[in-house]
Amino acid sequence: MTKVPVISGKEAVKALAQAGFTIVRQRGSHIRMKKVTSETEIKITIPLHETLDRGTLKSIIRSAGLTVDEFVGLL
């Protein structure tokens, strides 16, 4: 199992875009992304910080329905 990397909010947005998420809106320093599947609609909020806290990033990855290894592969 891969450790959660230390990355910026912009890098997280790029990785999730490759996973099929689209940017819905930006308000202040947070970006809202959405992915619609046949069964559900996943919404995620990503803070645009220089470095994301590992716990925050792990929560974002889990909410996206990805594993840490899958997410690292998208980077």
pLDDT in tens, 37-73: 888 899 999 999 999 998 999 999 999 989 999 999 8
The answer to whether residue 50 is domain-embedded is: yes
Which structural domain range is residue 53 located in?
9-74
Averaged pLDDT, 27-34: 93
The CATH number assigned to the domain holding 65 equals 3.30.920.30
The answer to whether residue 3 is domain-embedded is: no
Q: How many helices (H) and strands (E) does the chain have?
A: 3, 3
The answer to whether residue 55 is domain-embedded is: yes
Has residue 23 got a pLDDT over 90? Answer: yes
The answer to whether residue 48 is domain-embedded is: yes
Q: Is 21 helix (H, G, I), strand (E, B) or coil?
A: coil
The answer to whether residue 20 is domain-embedded is: yes
Identify the band that residue 3 occupies on the pLDDT scale cut at 50, 70 and 90: confident
The answer to whether residue 68 is domain-embedded is: yes
Number of domains in the chain: 1
